């Protein structure tokens, strides 16, 4: 079997082929990877890593010979989306667990406009951008919960 760089990157080096739930597995491993990077390196390095991964991931999805619509083995988009959620949350176990749950929820159920983007753009843009929107939804949900909890606890004290 001939090595294909683009296929390797778009499937997170074969991770997309391992599990019946490759997106969830990739998101879970992303939590571990981003946690490790953030605890040992600066926020700026983490952001550069995510930006670099996004650029290489986009090119790899575009050039992957198996790129048809959004095949489940292409999981670099989950890595990118999950990373974006985590990098904008305070570094706590609770936030990372919430970030994982909310990102997976929005990535799986695809409320508007996620479902629209996925259907309208069946290319690298659509494959990656729908996960970026899921990340934004996850972050907004978590921040709203944090605001409500902060207001509730400030009123009860």
pLDDT value for 51: 96
pTM for the complete prediction? 0.90
User: Rounded to whole angstroms, how far apart are CA atoms 85 and 96?
Assistant: 9
pLDDT at 101: 97
Q: d(Cα 62, Cα 67) in Å, to the nearest integer?
A: 7
Angle ∠(61,20,125) on CA atoms, nearest 5: 20
pLDDT at 69: 63
pLDDT of residue 4: 83
CA-wise closest residue to 107 among 65, 140, 87, 136: 136
Per-domain residue ranges of the chain: 5-156
* Average pLDDT per 10 consecutive residues for the chain, totaling 157 residues: 84 88 94 95 94 94 70 91 96 95 95 88 88 97 93 77
Q: What pLDDT, on the 0 to 100 scale, is given for residue 65? A: 61
- pLDDT of 68 reads 60
The answer to whether the CB of 78 falls within 8 A of the CB of 27 is: yes
Token pair for residue 109?
């159920």
pLDDT at position 3: 83
Closest to 84 measured CA to CA, from 110, 115, 63, 106: 106
């Amino acid at each position: 079997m001939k090595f294909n760089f683009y296929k390797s990157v778009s499937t997170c080096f074969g991770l997309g082929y391992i599990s019946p739930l490759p997106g969830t597995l990739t998101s879970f491993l992303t939590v571990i990877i981003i946690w490790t990077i953030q605890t040992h390196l600066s926020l700026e390095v983490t952001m550069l890593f995510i930006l670099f991964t996004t650029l290489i991931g986009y090119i790899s999805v575009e050039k992957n010979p198996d790129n048809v619509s959004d095949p489940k083995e292409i999981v670099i988009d989950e890595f990118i989306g999950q990373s974006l959620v985590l990098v904008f949350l305070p570094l706590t176990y609770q936030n990372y667990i919430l970030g994982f749950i909310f990102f997976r929820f929005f990535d799986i159920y695809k409320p508007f406009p996620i479902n629209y983007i996925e259907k309208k753009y069946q290319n690298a843009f659509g494959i990656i951008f729908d996960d970026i929107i899921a990340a934004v939804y996850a972050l907004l949900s978590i921040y709203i919960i944090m605001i409500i909890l902060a207001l509730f606890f400030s009123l009860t004290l």
